[in-house]
A and B are shown apart, each in its own frame.
Chain A
Amino acid sequence: MKAAPASILGIGAVTPLGRDLQTIFRRLEEVPAAPVKRISDEILADPEFSKHLRRADRFARMAAIAAVDAWSAAREGGEWKVESRAEEEVSMDRVGLIVSSGLGPHGRGFKFLDGVLDCGDLEGLPTDFSHSVHAAAASYITGLLDLRGPSLSITDFEIGFENAVLLAQCWLERGVCDRVIVGAVEELGEVLIACARQMLGGKLGVGAGKAALGEGAVFLVLGPAEAGGKIKISVEEPVAGCDLVMVDDPAIPDQGPPPGAKRGQSFLPAFGHSASSSAFELLGGLLSMRYGEPRGGGVVDNATTFRTSCGQAIGLRIEKNM
């Protein structure tokens, strides 16, 4: 993986812990015990979006709200940019979008099937069908932001977000885009929850050896290194010596931090597991770097997620831009 690190210029998230980043960070201190962590309808019913998202389902709403929040944060500067620099003028036809999801908008997909099964193949609802495709969320985002660069939706059950960030790095380095909005979104629909309960049995929950389920969206606005982000990100083989390694469950030897890591930490008991778990792990790491590690864990100057996929170790490394 040879692409240069990208600068993080803005972050937006819609999580079971909330939407405001400082609120999310505070709530990381107290891991909620619920084994299924869904996002409140209140967060998704933001009146700011009521017109544009009136036909949108949970999946598209989570993605759109998080992406617009990330873009707003990048435009305002301050939080994530060096010297509170406001974002310089960027042409929207030079802004790309990559949306990753494992299971996509399956809730709307099953709603379309309800129409087909109840009323026949000739009677499915077109709005349900059009919203059931993975690319629907990206369409809402490009419409809301008038974003006219390349727009890509991808799917993977383990490392989709890593793939998305790597491609964003490539686009930035090759000058395909000046900015890339890159994000992950997962929805916990009724069918999926039931299937997961059946698959996991007693392993569904919070605690050692257990997994909670989560949903939400995490979006980053990335620019080239010189764009002035306080934190840079790259996809690479995880290396020893990081301040913080985010792993599924540090208590399980197979999933613990690689040799040489100073600390292992998982934020998934708070956010819940999903096909985009690493995006939420990364969010926890970013908030730890920005506000200090939860539970007084210390200063974090760099961190990495850690996944083994198809026999290869892969990580999202974040580091303070010195």
Chain B
Amino acid sequence: MPSGMPAAISPSVWISGIGAICGAGGNTGAILGSFAEGRRNSVLTVPFESTISCPTFQVSGELPVLPGRFNASRTLRLTMAAVKEAMEDAGIERFGESTRVGVCLGTTVASQLNNIPFYEAWRREPKTSLDPIYDYLSANLGRAVGEMLGVRGPRMTIVNACSSGTDAIGVAANWIRMGVCDVAIAGGADELNRVAMAGFWSLGVTSSQPCAPFDRDRAGLNLGEGAGVVILESQAHAKTRGKLCEFAIAGFGAACDAHHLTAPHPEGRGLDAAVRAALAEAKIEPAEIAFVNAHGTATADNDRAEGKVLARIFGDGVKFLSTKGFTGHTLGAAGGLEAVFTALGLRERWVPASAGFVNRGEDIPVAPVGTRKAIAGDFALSTSLAFGGNNSAVVIGRVG
């Protein structure tokens, strides 16, 4: 048993690799650099023609060029950038033919049949080019990544809105525990998109300033883009190939509010249940959680509900942060990215200041970390709340 993981739990799902790309950087090293310097790379533009002007967190630099129609999807290109880094981190160049490799990825934008240029053309003349439809049909995330990697195993695309990435990790961990596959590529990805921007604007939850999660004066979210991917592996498979892993999925929980289509339950009922389920699966007490990478969108409702739950379960001294001040809200990617950031926090033994937070508000009973903090402990939690009322939580444990 590697040090750090109590013998009481059975960490059957190892994390053998992590990869990420987002507005904070093109890989985990660059992202850590932004975190360390407190650098926020938001820009006051959107990367498409629109009358909406508000800060966004965009990925800069080259993305992988993908074969055929796959290349038409920016979300897929972001995904493959993160997959590539995660596979390198896992020490996997390619998967063997006998290895059952599952792919479970979350997204929102790539799942929507709502291409504006296509629809604009279709409204003028219904017999328009169907290329955008074929591109869309080719970009089912789980299916496309599985095909590009040529792997044999289950493929699933999760469309649970903003908890998709976390849910994908939970599903993939379940597959491995059940022996459905030996290895799984899990996480989430989303690109900045005009439809999502117009949609969040219509809901009145975007901020015209860089976002300020958990702050008294928070005024809404900023959208971002990116991908966060973990390689999960059964303990047996990792051992067979001699891979020493640093982290494991110790627990996962999900529960829904049954409350409202877009607003969280005001007391965070579902999130409370999800966090407790994740802790129970990990067989640990709340005090064993070193820090929480909270969903923290900087909307009034989310941060209030989430703050109440964190205070209720972990107490006033809970060490938590939102990384959305560095990345923006990356929707389906958020859970994948934040799981990677949670693992990085455990690896580096520090977490950055919760970017954008300045003043504690009266409606939130706890405050996030205002400066870079050292971390002691072997477990950390990442939480996600979503449109539709689902809530998910994943406990990551450091094992080496």
Chain A residues proximal to chain B, CB less than 8 Å: 1-3, 92-93, 97, 103-104, 106, 109-110, 112-113, 116-117, 120-126, 129-136, 138-140, 142-143, 145-157, 163, 166-167, 170-171, 173-174, 176, 191-192, 194-195, 198-199, 310-312
B143-162 Cβ-contact flags toward A at 8 Å (1 or 0) = 10011000010111111110
Known contacts A113-B195, A126-B202, A129-B199: does B255 contact A93 (CB below 8 Å)?
yes
In the bound complex, CA of A239 to CA of B116 (Å): 45
Check if A104 sits within 8 Å of B159, measured CB to CB.
yes
Check if A173 sits within 8 Å of B178, measured CB to CB.
yes
Which A residues are CB-close (under 8 A) to B140?
155-157
Chain A binder among B295-303, B311-319, B385-393: B385-393
Which B residues are CB-close (under 8 A) to A93?
255, 273
Q: Chain A residue with minimal CB distance to B112?
A: A109
Which A residues are CB-close (under 8 A) to B288?
none
In the bound complex, CA of A140 to CA of B256 (Å): 12
Answer whether residue B203 sits at the interface, using C-beta atoms and an 8 A cutoff: yes
Which B residues are CB-close (under 8 A) to A138?
160, 256, 388, 390
30 A-B residue pairings within 8 Å (CB atoms):
A3-B178, A104-B113, A104-B159, A109-B112, A109-B113, A113-B195, A117-B120, A121-B50, A123-B202, A124-B198, A130-B387, A133-B108, A142-B258, A142-B389, A143-B260, A145-B258, A151-B256, A151-B390, A152-B167, A152-B254, A152-B390, A153-B388, A155-B111, A155-B157, A167-B156, A170-B180, A191-B122, A192-B113, A198-B130, A312-B152
Write the nearest CB–CB distance from A168 to chain B, whole angstroms: 11
Known contacts A126-B204, A157-B137: does B114 contact A2 (CB below 8 Å)?
no
Check if B114 sits within 8 Å of A112, measured CB to CB.
yes
Which B residues are CB-close (under 8 A) to A112?
114, 195, 198-199
B residues 52-95 touching A (CB-CB < 8 Å): 52
Partner of B175, one of A104, A106, A142, A170: A170
Answer whether residue B40 sits at the interface, using C-beta atoms and an 8 A cutoff: no
Answer whether residue B270 sits at the interface, using C-beta atoms and an 8 A cutoff: yes
Q: Chain A residue with minimal CB distance to B141?
A: A155
Which B residues are CB-close (under 8 A) to A124?
198-199, 201-202
Answer whether residue B142 sits at the interface, using C-beta atoms and an 8 A cutoff: yes
Q: Chain B residue with minimal CB distance to A56?
A: B261
Check if A149 sits within 8 Å of B203, measured CB to CB.
no
Partner of B198, one of A3, A129, A170: A129
Which A residues are CB-close (under 8 A) to B174?
167, 170-171, 174, 176
In the bound complex, CA of A219 to CA of B69 (Å): 33
In the bound complex, CA of A154 to CA of B203 (Å): 24
Partner of A149, one of B113, B114, B256: B256
B112-144 Cβ-contact flags toward A at 8 Å (1 or 0) = 111010011011001100100100010010110
Which A residues are CB-close (under 8 A) to B114?
106, 109-110, 112-113, 132
Check if A110 sits within 8 Å of B269, measured CB to CB.
no
In the bound complex, CA of A194 to CA of B133 (Å): 12
Write the nearest CB–CB distance from A60 to chain B, whole angstroms: 9
Which B residues are CB-close (under 8 A) to A129?
198-200, 202-203
Check if A135 sits within 8 Å of B119, measured CB to CB.
no
Task: A116-B195, A163-B155 are known; give 5 further A-B pairs, CB within 8 A.
Answer: A93-B273, A109-B112, A109-B113, A138-B388, A139-B388
Check if A195 sits within 8 Å of B171, measured CB to CB.
no
The 10 closest A-B pairs by CB, nearest first: A135-B388, A129-B199, A150-B254, A134-B159, A139-B388, A109-B114, A151-B256, A106-B113, A126-B202, A124-B202
In the bound complex, CA of A301 to CA of B246 (Å): 50
Write the nearest CB–CB distance from A42 to chain B, whole angstroms: 25
Check if B111 sits within 8 Å of A134, measured CB to CB.
yes
Check if A148 sits within 8 Å of B160, measured CB to CB.
no
Write the nearest CB–CB distance from A94 to chain B, whole angstroms: 10
Write the nearest CB–CB distance from B116 to chain A, whole angstroms: 6
Which B residues are CB-close (under 8 A) to A173?
178
Which B residues are CB-close (under 8 A) to A194?
122, 126
Q: Chain A residue with minimal CB distance to B133?
A: A195
In the bound complex, CA of A74 to CA of B147 (Å): 39
Q: Chain A residue with minimal CB distance to B129?
A: A198
Check if A132 sits within 8 Å of B112, measured CB to CB.
yes
Answer whether residue B257 sits at the interface, using C-beta atoms and an 8 A cutoff: yes
Write the nearest CB–CB distance from A232 to chain B, whole angstroms: 17
Check if A166 sits within 8 Å of B130, measured CB to CB.
no
Answer whether residue B31 sits at the interface, using C-beta atoms and an 8 A cutoff: no
Partner of A121, one of B112, B113, B198, B390: B198
In the bound complex, CA of A145 to CA of B259 (Å): 11
Answer whether residue B197 sits at the interface, using C-beta atoms and an 8 A cutoff: yes
In the bound complex, CA of A130 to CA of B204 (Å): 12
Which A residues are CB-close (under 8 A) to B167?
152
Answer whether residue B194 sits at the interface, using C-beta atoms and an 8 A cutoff: yes
Partner of B51, one of A121, A151, A153, A311: A121
Partner of B199, one of A132, A140, A143, A310: A132
Check if A310 sits within 8 Å of B155, measured CB to CB.
yes
Q: Chain A residue with minimal CB distance to B204?
A: A126
In the bound complex, CA of A103 to CA of B115 (Å): 13
Write the nearest CB–CB distance from A259 to chain B, whole angstroms: 22
Check if A148 sits within 8 Å of B273, measured CB to CB.
yes
Which B residues are CB-close (under 8 A) to A142?
256-258, 388-389
Which A residues are CB-close (under 8 A) to B178?
2-3, 170, 173-174
Known contacts A104-B112, A121-B194, A136-B261: does B130 contact A152 (CB below 8 Å)?
no
Check if B387 sits within 8 Å of A135, measured CB to CB.
yes
Q: Chain A residue with minimal CB distance to B274?
A: A150
Known contacts A121-B194, A153-B160: does B154 contact A163 (CB below 8 Å)?
yes
Which B residues are CB-close (under 8 A) to A92?
258
Which A residues are CB-close (under 8 A) to B3?
none
Check if B256 sits within 8 Å of A148, measured CB to CB.
yes
In the bound complex, CA of A157 to CA of B110 (Å): 13
